[in-house]
Chains A and B, each alone.
Chain A
Amino acid sequence: GSLRGQDPGPQPQELKEVFRLFQMQYNRSYPNPAEHARRLDIFAQNLAKAQRLQEEDLGTAEFGVTQFSDLTEEEFVQLYGSRVAGEALGVSRKVGSEEWGES
């Protein structure tokens, strides 16, 4: 059967090692120990999230450590997302309908 849900994820020492490898792989350094600790905490949360996504995904996708693993979701979306289409421009799919040209 499936091992789904049985893996408790990396333990504290393991986590630090995984984070160190992440820093090496993606050339990440942080200005002070406090920021390092904060990023480690975010990294741990992202690992847990990846595990959850893995469990929820209905396809064949694999989730885990990526170059964005030390970013919060808000930072990630702000840095790499675009604007939310439809909000700023009021774009609607009603082109051609009776509403087109009204305003």
Chain B
Amino acid sequence: QPPTCDWRNKPNTISPVRNQRHCNCCWAMAAAGNIEALWAIKFNRSVEVSVQQLLDCDRCGNGCKGGFVWDAFLTVLKNRGLASETDYPFDGSGKTHRCLAEKHKKVAWIQDFIMLQACEQSIARHLATQGPITVTINVKLLQQYQKGVIKATPTTCDPRHVDHSVLLVGFGKTKSVEGRQGKAASFRSYTRPRRSMAYWTLKNSWGPHWGEEGYFRLHRGSNTCGITKYPVTAIVDIPKKKQQVSCPP
């Protein structure tokens, strides 16, 4: 794998940061971001898919009350694709509606979805060679997060208790001088030279004004906030030519 990777640097790959507002639908937004990125990477097609379809057509039918990324992918498979965000827009009210999947043209679909190994190296390899993936983390520290790389311990952020799904879009290392320069609304008002630190870059769904323009960074290599617990991605690929088989006489 390369030393750094950031899918935001490939034009038209990562869709704009979404805002889930009063709907508890991080799981659907993470899945949508995953499918959009994979379509851009595999087919060079920039699409914005309907999160509302994922919510309305979710098997439990209460998508704004929380859900699972794998349920979003099951919905995509069941609906044979997703409509566009423009045709089937996000409501954001916290309510779901009747499933209108059949009424709209599908702009993206998936072949399958998989759960990756719970290992940061293999997650990085997959991210670098295939594209962004969804992960589910412990949300606790994000309430007060402004910027920088979060490096937590199991005590400060329990990696077993994961409750927020986001899209993993890259990884890198901080420069050795970065950080510890305070700003008015934070409590860090001193400077201290730091060693470089490996991090993951994650796309959140709380709008572009939260965190680092809608993104945040977690330390890479310590399973910070349980990032390795549920790495899940859709499979989007050009269908392989069907292998011919022959039936013996």
Residue tally, chain A, CB below 8 Å to B: 43
Is A85 within 8 A of B150, CB to CB? no
Which residues of B from 117 to 176 have beta carbons under 8 Å from A?
118, 136, 139-141, 143-153, 156, 161-165, 174
* Main DSSP-derived SS at the B contact region: loop
A33 interface contact, C-beta 8 A:
no
List the B side residues contacting A53 at CB < 8 Å. Answer: 141, 144, 156
B208-225 near A? 1/0 per residue, CB < 8 Å: 011000000101000000
**Contacts A2-B192, A65-B185, A79-B22: A58 and B145 contacting too (C-beta < 8 A)?**
no
Is A82 within 8 A of B66, CB to CB? yes
Is A63 within 8 A of B163, CB to CB? no
Is A66 within 8 A of B115, CB to CB? no
Q: Which residue of A lies closest to B150 (CB)?
A: A61
**Contacts A58-B152, A85-B68: A77 and B139 contacting too (C-beta < 8 A)?**
yes
B87 interface contact, C-beta 8 A:
no
Is B197 within 8 A of A54, CB to CB? no
Which residue of the partner chain, among B144, B190, B209, contacts A46 with CB atoms under 8 Å?
Answer: B144
How far apart are B181's CB and chain A's nearest CB, in angstroms? 9
Report the interface size class on chain B.
35 or more
* Main DSSP-derived SS at the A contact region: loop
List the B side residues contacting A58 at CB < 8 Å. Answer: 151-153, 219
Max chain A CB contacts within 10 Å: which of B144, B182, B209, B229? B144
A71 interface contact, C-beta 8 A:
yes
Is A3 within 8 A of B189, CB to CB? yes
Is A81 within 8 A of B145, CB to CB? no
Is B178 within 8 A of A84, CB to CB? no
**Contacts A7-B187, A81-B24, A85-B230: A66 and B139 contacting too (C-beta < 8 A)?**
no
- Listed by A's residue number, 23 A-B pairs whose Cβ atoms lie within 8 Å are A4-B190, A7-B187, A46-B143, A50-B187, A54-B186, A54-B187, A56-B152, A56-B153, A57-B150, A60-B149, A62-B148, A63-B141, A64-B187, A66-B210, A68-B143, A71-B143, A73-B140, A77-B139, A80-B24, A82-B24, A82-B26, A82-B164, A85-B68
- Which chain A residues have a beta carbon within 8 Å of chain B's beta carbons? 2-4, 7, 9, 46, 49-51, 53-54, 56-69, 71, 73, 76-86, 88-89, 91, 93, 95
